[in-house]
Amino acid sequence: GAVVSQHPSRVICKSGTSVKIECRSLDFQATTMFWYRQFPKQSLMLMATSNEGSKATYEQGVEKDKFLINHASLTLSTLTVTSAHPEDSSFYICSARKQGATEAFFGQGTRLTVV
């Protein structure tokens, strides 16, 4: 099956610093990757959709300058949370989709805690 790996699985950072989260498709080429945020006891909320080689499309209410997304290759997308604040503490999950496919596979998630 298709494997999507996120790194790190947990990160604690100080308020005001930036944190980068990686999402890799290990055994397939992902033309599209999705970034989600999940608060406790809530479902996943789509933040942005990134297509390889082009700018990400952000959902309404998501600040593109705060959540920088780079999808430079067919196997790697990164989400950088800039100038993190405690309210950015959340569970961030990526998913990746092959070209022409409808199925998307999820990473294991990254728990971000901003102190």
Partner 1 sequence: KNQVEQSPQSLIILEGKNCTLQCNYTVSPFSNLRWYKQDTGRGPVSLTIMTFSENTKSNGRYTATLDADTKQSSLHITASQLSDSASYICVVMDSSYKLIFGSGTRLLVRP
Interacting residues toward partner 1 by CB under 8 A: 4, 6, 34, 41-46, 91, 93, 95, 102-109, 111
Q: Measured from the CB atom, is 44 or 68 closer to partner 1?
A: 44
Nearer to partner 1, 28 or 107 (CB): 107
Task: Residue 28: name the closest of 4, 7, 54 by CA.
Answer: 4
Min dist CB 1 to partner 1, Å, is: 9
The 3-class SS string of 16-54 reads CCCEEEEEEECCCCEEEEEEEEECCCCCCEEEEEEECCC
- Total residue length of the chain: 115
What is the DSSP secondary structure assignment for residue 74, as one 8-state letter? T
CB of 93 to partner 1, least distance (A): 5
**Among residues 33 and 109, whose Cβ is nearest to partner 1?**
109
Q: Minimum distance between the CB of residue 79 and partner 1, rounded to whole angstroms?
A: 14
